[in-house]
A and B are shown apart, each in its own frame.
Chain A
Amino acid sequence: KAGVTQTPRYLIKTRGQQVTLSCSPISGHRSVSWYQQTPGQGLQFLFEYFSETQRNKGNFPGRFSGRQFSNSRSEMNVSTLELGDSALYLCASSLALVGTGLYEQYFGPGTRLTVT
């Protein structure tokens, strides 16, 4: 069974630009969560989608948005990039909502975004 895949793996953007990251969950998984990981702030939750609906949201500005498609694939978008958005963006999938604790959450390798 293929794991969670994220594309692209590495990305370099300029301040003010926007970026779209993609995540393909494990087949059959309906929950997709996004996290930002930085050395200073650690792992921080961005949002979770289940059945194309955002179910939970972290404390990030509106420049961070996401969506989920009917095949459970998910994208996240960051508009008007800032230097502080440089981070590893991780996607994770699960059979059910993470908070139910019923199923493990599997992480992808992440997309390394560098904003210059």
Chain B
Amino acid sequence: GESVGLHLPTLSVQEGDNSIINCAYSNSASDYFIWYKQESGKGPQFIIDIRSNMDKRQGQRVTVLLNKTVKHLSLQIAATQPGDSAVYFCAENRNTDKLIFGTGTRLQVFP
């Protein structure tokens, strides 16, 4: 498959463990945040989003936490599975402006 980033930070976790992927965003005025998953050879896929008036949102096996004080976003994946192996991007948006993507984190799941 194609590599989306040769020098991405990598998180290696054992199958069944929980994963936490972190992201620092740049603008305190950002009001909407999204996590995307990108598998090799594919485009990014929406995972979960959160607005700035919330600090936590849960989906299926995923939770996003937003700390506006330190401009930090995290994605927690419960019971990580081999199919979760991918590059994960956070993206921020402010006031209907363009999306700004983070550099990405590669998640590797080993048995």
* A residues lining the B interface (CB < 8 Å): 4, 33, 35, 37, 39, 42-45, 48, 56-58, 88, 90, 92, 97-101, 104-110, 112
Contact = CB atoms under 8 A, between A and B. Distances in A.
Interface residues of B, number: 32
Given A43-B89, A101-B49, A56 B97 contact: yes
A45 B98 contact: yes
B7 interface: yes
Nearest to B95: A99
Contact of A90 (B34, B41, B43): B43
Interface in B56-111: 89, 91, 93-104
A99 B101 contact: no
B98 A56 contact: yes
6 contacts: A4-B43, A35-B101, A39-B4, A92-B44, A98-B98, A109-B43
B89 A106 contact: no
Given A39-B7, A43-B89, A99 B44 contact: no
Contacts of A33: 99
A63 B51 CA distance: 35
